[in-house]
Amino acid sequence: TMVVTESQDKMYYPPDDLKRDAHVPDFNSYLALYRKSLENPEAFWKEVADDFFWKKPATGPMLQYNFDVTIGNIYVKCMEGAKTNMCYNVLDRLVRERNLGEKVAYYWEGNSPDHHMAITYSQLLSQVCRCANVLKKMGVKKGDRVSIYLPMIPELVYTMLACARIGAVHSIVFAGFSSESLCERIMDAQSSVLVTADGVYRGEKLINLKQIADEALEKSNIMTDFMSGICSLFWCVQTPWDSECDVWWEEVMRDSPEECEPEWLDAEDPLFILYTSGSTGKPKGVLHTVAGYLLYTSLTFKYVFDHHHDDVYWCTADIGWITGHSYITYGPLANGATSVLFEGIPVHPHVGRFWEIIEKYKVTKFYTAPTAIRLLMKYGREPLQKYDLSSLRILGTVGEPINPEAWQWYHEAVGKGRCPVVDTFWQTETGGHVLTPLPAATPLKPGSATFPFFGVEPTILNEHGEELEGEAEGYLVFRRPWPGIMRTVYRNHERFENSYFKKFPGFYVTGDGCRRDKDGYYWITGRTDDMLNVSGHLMSTAEVEAALTEHPAVAEAAVVSRPHKVKGECLYCFVSLKDSREFTHTLVEELKRLGKIMRRILRQIARNEKDLGDLSTLADPKVVEELFSQRCEAA
């Protein structure tokens, strides 16, 4: 079904120089491998696993699963019976067996261009072992959770790999989240240690992380008893301190030994929890396990970025999101890659910062978000012209649909028309890319994530759960697992089954809408649930509504998404105030009487779309006119 035929869409073909030494050099090779991955998954994944170290081989098949709630519990298992360690595979294996000790793992580039350092694989290994010993000394054992609230500094990578080494489960909370969000995540994970920093500059703005962390711990008062903090000092002077439970990073790391035997884990032991927004408002602790996640992130990284040993790869995401977990830490390290680890933001100290860094490190593969591209587009091509971007070979995007205009600009202005743009569709839940082009194999259509990755079998369903063939639009679902798919929602398997498997038994439901065109290309059309995507970050309308109604003045709130030029989508909030005269009280009452607020109509009001269709279910359709007349333009 996936033959590339004559098409009216403009196609971009892979450049010849890329094909010459590519892992997957043409579309037929992709098709052959893809077929093998579906027809003989056992042999396909076995070959991938052969690259890695197994303390004990698997006793079960490469993949076992049930995706049908009507049959029994949902489960996925990869390489049951095998014993291994993630940290050993991404560090020791390379240093010991591949002789990569002296190779740079990360070029760390600070928020300020004056701060930078290179970290080799062997340096990384010894820092990780030290940190692992520190955690052990603090009483952290296999299976314990460690919350990490750190900015994009090397210590973040050390800590996550230290957890992986001793079998502790890391739960990273993006260091831009509030104390409430941090508290909620610490409580849900029942972490015994929190690792944070005193503070960080993001652009010109100072964020006092330790203070926020303290607030979070105060809110979760049951935790303070067994919570210890490790802190690293950077630029702030006045750090709030409680010597009963806080310890300084530098002090404990200094005396910690550089040798640490890895904990040999079962293939299906948890590796990490990462929270993602859920449509009910409460975040879901997405759980990933060791072996499957290793196989999947390493293979997607290798093929999607066509990795070669002399590459310098840069993913601009924050490790606090899944993109950073899979494609800054685990995927690149598993391949022995050299990456840039960037602490700052695209526009500090100037709007050419990205391009300056690409020139400085001669970046060959560059992976960013459509929202960043749209932001930088606003400044035109002039900031790019000062820098030599000729090292670039492949460009990537992730996080949200990319509009063809931004795609074109990325391709022409940044890639000078020489570099394929891989538009990678995936989710926190999928662990790695699931729909994506392969840069030397797939003819591209701007805005399409093109075709499934190996082992992934997508299909499109209509509202009744019927599969749609050929050209079609509907719900994007997957018929079977691949090794990197999530295993459960932490401590809530029922929620896992209800969120992803209930609606259409037999399928994993992504929550995204999708169109398949006549050439078989997949196009993500956006969320089908009450979720929205602001600057590549997924959030639920319920979550925002709950936050709004917490304010004492607010009686009710409804939140919908509205397209935004740079952010992709933005929040459009309808708020009714308690006892307010100005905000036409009657109108608020009318809305309340509706019972269930008609979100479709609110969305259209937000977008100023006047053709509203059937309004007969509304108690008072005049409300709609009033809302239109009070529309305000978003910034």
**In whole angstroms, what separates CA 388 from the centre of its chain?**
29
320 versus 336: smaller Cβ distance to ligand PRX: 320
Among 126, 232, 323, 442, which residue sits at the site for ligand PRX (rule: CB under 6 A)?
Answer: 323
CB of 322: closest distance to ligand PRX in angstroms?
5
DSSP 465: S
Among the residue ranges 327-335, 404-412, 506-514, 554-562, the one whose residues contact ligand PRX (CB under 6 A): 506-514
388 versus 405: smaller Cβ distance to ligand PRX: 405
d(CA 335, CA 371): 28
Among 78, 322, 419, 588, which residue sits at the site for ligand PRX (rule: CB under 6 A)?
Answer: 322
CA distances from 571 to 443, 500, 548, 608, 632 (A): 35, 25, 12, 14, 13
d(CA 178, CA 551): 16
Pick out residues in 254-293 that bind ligand PRX (CB under 6 A): 276
Among the residue ranges 36-44, 186-194, 219-227, 504-512, the one whose residues contact ligand PRX (CB under 6 A): 504-512
CB of 476: closest distance to ligand PRX in angstroms?
9
Query: CB within 8 A of 90, min separation 6: which ones?
Result: 161, 294, 330, 333, 334
Among 167, 292, 352, 399, which residue sits at the site for ligand PRX (rule: CB under 6 A)?
Answer: 399
Q: What is the 3-state secondary structure (H, E, C) of 563-625?
A: EECCCEEEEEEEEEECCCCCCCHHHHHHHHHCCCCCHHHHHHHHCCCCCCCCCCCCCCCHHHH
132 versus 394: smaller Cβ distance to ligand PRX: 394
Does 533 help bind ligand PRX (rule: CB under 6 A)?
A: yes
Does 318 help bind ligand PRX (rule: CB under 6 A)?
A: no
R_g over Cα of the chain: 25
Cis peptide before 349 (omega within 30 of 0): yes
128 versus 438: smaller Cβ distance to ligand PRX: 438
Pick out residues in 412-451 that bind ligand PRX (CB under 6 A): 423-428, 449
Does 189 help bind ligand PRX (rule: CB under 6 A)?
A: no
CB of 315: closest distance to ligand PRX in angstroms?
11
87 versus 538: smaller Cβ distance to ligand PRX: 538
Does 569 help bind ligand PRX (rule: CB under 6 A)?
A: no
Does 543 help bind ligand PRX (rule: CB under 6 A)?
A: no
CB of 164: closest distance to ligand PRX in angstroms?
20
CB of 401: closest distance to ligand PRX in angstroms?
4
Q: How many CB atoms within 10 Å of residue 362?
A: 14
Look at the alpha carbons of 381, 387, 393, 396 in this order and tell me if their dihedral is positive or negative: negative
d(CA 475, CA 467): 9
CB of 524: closest distance to ligand PRX in angstroms?
4
DSSP 486: -
Among 85, 270, 256, residue whose Cα is nearest residue 166: 85
Does 507 help bind ligand PRX (rule: CB under 6 A)?
A: no
Does 400 help bind ligand PRX (rule: CB under 6 A)?
A: yes
Among the residue ranges 200-208, 398-406, 451-459, 618-626, the one whose residues contact ligand PRX (CB under 6 A): 398-406
Does 401 help bind ligand PRX (rule: CB under 6 A)?
A: yes
d(CA 203, CA 207): 10
- The three-state secondary structure class of 18 is helix
Please name the helix (run of DSSP H) or strand (run of DSSP E) that holds residue 525, with its range, or none. strand 522-527
CB of 72: closest distance to ligand PRX in angstroms?
27
CB of 447: closest distance to ligand PRX in angstroms?
9
Does 456 help bind ligand PRX (rule: CB under 6 A)?
A: no
d(CA 529, CA 395): 30
Size of the site for ligand PRX (CB under 6 A): 21
86 versus 514: smaller Cβ distance to ligand PRX: 514
Task: Determine the residue with CB nearest ligand PRX.
Answer: 428
Does 527 help bind ligand PRX (rule: CB under 6 A)?
A: yes
Structure tokens at 594: 């509706």
364 versus 424: smaller Cβ distance to ligand PRX: 424
Instruction: Kindly compute the dihedral angle of the four CA atoms of residues 623, 625, 626, 632, in this order, to the nearest 10 degrees.
Output: 130
Does 510 help bind ligand PRX (rule: CB under 6 A)?
A: yes
Overall size of the chain counted in residues: 635
Among 22, 125, 524, 591, which residue sits at the site for ligand PRX (rule: CB under 6 A)?
Answer: 524
One-letter amino acid at 625 equals E
Helix ranges, 288-337 (H): 290-304, 322-324, 331-334
Structure tokens at 380: 């035109």
- Using CB under 6 A, list all residues that contact ligand PRX: 276, 322-323, 398-401, 423-428, 449, 510-512, 524, 527, 533, 538
